[in-house]
């Protein structure tokens, strides 16, 4: 029997918050969300936390209230993060899976989303880390929330947490009062981008997205977007999306039409055998950059000006586009901007996972 968990009772959840489309902040009224899993997180500028429950194909908007800020603003480095989270949860570090990292827009505390345990017994948790490096569980018993379910998710796996259902939501970002969500559906053209207005009413049918995969030399409709960021390219508000093995694709927001299928423009390919893990945009020295953590290539930085002029990739290539390795940031798995000068990362080095605060390269 699947365990349905009230997060307040046992754990903490990392989530993302966003700004409401009007000046007045929408205040959810339901209390103590019940979730079966926790995956991608996104904060809005007003501090609302959006957290995905991939097993339920559901997005939660969480009002963290006073728990949005710890005793000290900011985020400090935490060595041996796995062990310290495990001690907080009363379990072993080997039972933990860290699923995302997000930084609150005003307290600048970091929030880490965690799954504790394996298979159907795994439980979600959210941990806050403040400017003194102090860890605290976020209790959900007083957290107000609303939620929305995505339509046509992949079939759930009754014997475990693997399979396509775990990718019903792979990433999220708030743009202009709408939450954009990437993931998989159970439809023939499985790869989807949804747009959900906040406050939540319902999710649209989603746009089926097809891409040309330069390294594979073929069109693909079933591979999910693994991570994406909003970015304006040549005056067009767009999403820059990273796929496994490793094309970078741009999707103008104006082309995302519920119930339709579109073909994204593949502008770069980072090469085979690699998965993009997380990405952020930033400006340094007057130049806009995309910072991407990868499973094989490590952290790289990509000048974004080229996205407006690179030709669409429509034939097989090994790599394409200009990017630079950031060797000073080894083992990075998750990252988010702390401020205009620094980034918070979770990195695995020599078998130990730590939270670090690093200058943007």
- Strand spans (E) along 26-177: 30-31, 34-35, 41-43, 49-53, 58-63, 96-103, 110-116, 123-129, 135-137, 144-149, 171-175
Closest CA to 353 of 51, 79, 105, 12: 79
Residue 278 vs residues 101, 243, 244, 267, 334: alpha-carbon distances, Å: 10, 11, 12, 18, 6
Say whether both 17 and 149 belong to one domain.
Answer: yes
Instruction: Read off the pLDDT of residues 46-66 as tens digits, 9 standing for 90 and up.
Output: 999 999 999 999 999 999 999
Answer yes or no: are the C-beta atoms of 93 and 83 closer than 8 Å: yes
How is residue 51 annotated by DSSP?
A: E
| 360 vs 349: CA distance, rounded Å | 19
Q: Please, which residues have CB within 8 angstroms of residue 149's CB and are 6 or more apart in sequence?
A: 56, 57, 58, 59, 203
Say whether both 146 and 24 belong to one domain.
Answer: yes
Residue 209's pLDDT is: 98
Residue 29's pLDDT is: 86
Q: 176, 199, 222: which is the final residue of a domain?
A: 199
Instruction: Read off the pLDDT of residues 322-331 as tens digits, 9 standing for 90 and up.
Output: 999 999 999 9
Say whether both 180 and 258 belong to one domain.
Answer: no
Say whether both 214 and 161 belong to one domain.
Answer: no
Please give the tally of structural domains in the chain. 2
Q: 154, 183, 199: which is the final residue of a domain?
A: 199
Q: How many C-beta atoms surround the C-beta of residue 349 within 10 A?
A: 11
Say whether both 192 and 211 belong to one domain.
Answer: no
User: Is the model's pLDDT at 8 over the cut of 50?
Assistant: no
Main-chain phi, psi angles of 4, to 5 degrees: -100, 120
Say whether both 195 and 222 belong to one domain.
Answer: no
Q: 159, 184, 199: which is the final residue of a domain?
A: 199
Average pLDDT over residues 78-99: 96
The first and second tokens of residue 23, run together, are 């000046």
Sign for the pseudo-dihedral over CA of 332, 336, 342, 344: negative
Instruction: Read off the pLDDT of residues 268-283 as tens digits, 9 standing for 90 and up.
Output: 999 999 999 999 999 9
Instruction: Read off the pLDDT of residues 122-163 as tens digits, 9 standing for 90 and up.
Output: 999 999 999 999 999 999 999 999 999 999 999 987 555 557
Residue 119's pLDDT is: 79
DSSP states of 142-176 as a string?
A: T-EEEEEEPSSPPPP-TT-S-SGGGGS--EEEEET
| 12 vs 127: CA distance, rounded Å | 5
Residue 233's pLDDT is: 97
Mean pLDDT of the chain: 91
Instruction: Read off the pLDDT of residues 291-319 as tens digits, 9 standing for 90 and up.
Output: 999 999 999 999 999 999 999 999 999 99
- Strand spans (E) along 170-252: 171-175, 178-184, 191-197, 207-213, 218-220, 227-233, 236-242, 247-252
Q: Please, which residues have CB within 8 angstroms of residue 329's CB and are 6 or more apart in sequence?
A: 293, 298, 299, 345, 347, 358, 361
Say whether both 146 and 77 belong to one domain.
Answer: yes
Can you give the pTM of this predicted structure? 0.91
Answer yes or no: are the C-beta atoms of 46 and 65 closer than 8 Å: no
Main-chain phi, psi angles of 10, to 5 degrees: -125, -20
Say whether both 361 and 238 belong to one domain.
Answer: yes
Say whether both 211 and 193 belong to one domain.
Answer: no
Say whether both 46 and 190 belong to one domain.
Answer: yes
Structural domain containing residue 285: 206-361
Closest CA to 90 of 11, 3, 173: 11
Say whether both 106 and 242 belong to one domain.
Answer: no
Say whether both 190 and 221 belong to one domain.
Answer: no
């Amino acid at each position: 029997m699947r365990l349905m968990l009230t997060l307040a009772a046992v754990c903490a959840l990392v989530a993302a918050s966003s700004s409401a489309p009007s000046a007045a902040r929408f205040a959810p009224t339901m209390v103590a969300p019940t979730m079966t899993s926790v995956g991608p997180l996104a904060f809005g500028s007003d501090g609302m936390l959006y957290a995905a429950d991939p097993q339920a194909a559901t997005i939660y908007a969480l009002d963290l209230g006073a728990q949005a800020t710890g005793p000290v603003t900011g985020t400090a480095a935490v060595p041996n993060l796995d062990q310290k989270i495990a001690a907080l949860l009363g379990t072993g570090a080997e039972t933990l899976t860290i699923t995302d990292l997000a930084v609150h827009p005003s307290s600048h505390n970091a929030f880490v989303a965690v799954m504790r345990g394996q298979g159907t017994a795994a439980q979600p948790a959210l941990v806050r880390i403040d400017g003194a490096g102090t860890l605290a569980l976020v209790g959900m018993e007083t957290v107000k929330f609303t939620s929305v379910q995505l339509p046509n998710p992949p079939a759930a796996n009754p014997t475990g947490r693997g399979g396509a259902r775990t990718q019903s939501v792979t990433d999220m970002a708030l743009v202009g009062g709408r939450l954009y969500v990437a993931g998989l559906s159970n439809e023939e053209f499985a790869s989807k981008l949804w747009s959900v207005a906040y406050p939540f009413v319902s999710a649209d049918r989603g746009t089926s997205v097809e891409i040309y995969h330069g390294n594979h030399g073929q069109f693909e409709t079933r591979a999910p977007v693994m991570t994406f960021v909003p970015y304006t390219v040549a005056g067009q508000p767009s999403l820059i999306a990273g796929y496994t093995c490793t094309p970078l694709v741009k999707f103008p927001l104006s082309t995302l039409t519920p119930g339709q299928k579109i073909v994204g423009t593949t502008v770069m390919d980072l090469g085979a055998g690699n998965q993009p893990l997380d990405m952020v945009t930033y400006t340094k020295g007057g130049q806009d950059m995309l910072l991407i953590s990868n499973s094989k290539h490590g952290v790289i930085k990509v000048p974004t000006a080229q996205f407006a002029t690179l030709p669409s990739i429509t034939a097989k290539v090994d790599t394409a586009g200009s990017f630079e390795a950031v060797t000073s940031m080894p083992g990075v798995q998750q990252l988010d901007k702390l401020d205009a000068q620094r980034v918070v990362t979770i990195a695995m080095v020599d078998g130990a996972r730590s939270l670090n605060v690093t200058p943007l390269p």
